Amino acid sequence: TPRVFSGIQPSGGLTLGNYLGAIKRFVSMQEEDYETVFCMVDLHAITAKFLDPKTLAHNTRELAAGFIASGIDPAKSILINQSQVPEHAQLAWIFNCVARMGWMGRMTQWKDKAGKNAEAASLGLFAYPALMAADILIYHATHVPVGDDQKQHLELTRDIAAKFNHDYGVDFFPITEPVIEGAATRVMSLRDGSKKMSKSDPSDASRINMTDDADAIAKKIRKAKTDPDALPSEVAGLEGRPDARNLVNIYAALNEQSVEEVLRDVGGQQFGTFKPALAELAVSKLAPISTEMARLMAEPDEIDRILKKGSEQAREITAPILKKTYEIVGMVG
Shortest distance (Å) from residue 196 CB to ligand ATP = 4
Of 13-21, 31-39, 51-59, 296-304, the window that binds ligand ATP (rule: CB under 6 A) is: 13-21
Other beta carbons within 10 angstroms of residue 265's beta carbon come to 14
113 is catalytic: yes
Could you say whether residue 200 binds ligand ATP (CB under 6 A)?
A: yes
Could you say whether residue 249 binds ligand ATP (CB under 6 A)?
A: no
Could you say whether residue 61 binds ligand ATP (CB under 6 A)?
A: no
Of 54-62, 185-193, 267-275, 321-329, the window that binds ligand ATP (rule: CB under 6 A) is: 185-193
Q: Please pick, among 113, 163, 219, 324, the residue that the annotation labels catalytic.
A: 113
11 is in an annotated binding site: yes
Shortest distance (Å) from residue 10 CB to ligand ATP = 8
Could you say whether residue 8 binds ligand ATP (CB under 6 A)?
A: yes
Binding residues with ligand ATP: total (CB under 6 A):
22
Q: How far is CA 232 from the centre of its chain?
A: 31
Could you say whether residue 196 binds ligand ATP (CB under 6 A)?
A: yes
Could you say whether residue 186 binds ligand ATP (CB under 6 A)?
A: yes
Q: Which long-range contacts (CB under 8 A, 24 or more apart) does 167-173 make?
A: 167/98, 168/328, 168/329, 170/328, 172/324, 172/325, 172/328, 173/137, 173/140
CA-nearest of 322, 254, 262 to 24 is: 254
198 is in an annotated binding site: yes
Shortest distance (Å) from residue 249 CB to ligand ATP = 9
Could you say whether residue 252 binds ligand ATP (CB under 6 A)?
A: no
Judged by CB under 6 A, which of 11, 82, 318, 325 binds ligand ATP? 11
Nearer to ligand ATP, 200 or 291 (CB): 200
Could you say whether residue 232 binds ligand ATP (CB under 6 A)?
A: no
Q: How far is CA 3 from CA 24, 32, 171, 198, 309, in A?
A: 17, 11, 17, 27, 19
Could you say whether residue 40 binds ligand ATP (CB under 6 A)?
A: no
Could you say whether residue 153 binds ligand ATP (CB under 6 A)?
A: no
CA-nearest of 247, 180, 178 to 16 is: 247
Active-site positions read 113, 196, 199
Return binding residues for L-tryptophan: 135
Return binding residues: 9-11, 17-18, 135, 147-149, 187, 196-200
The residues binding ligand ATP (CB under 6 A) are 8-9, 11-12, 15, 17-18, 21-22, 146-147, 149-150, 184-187, 196-200
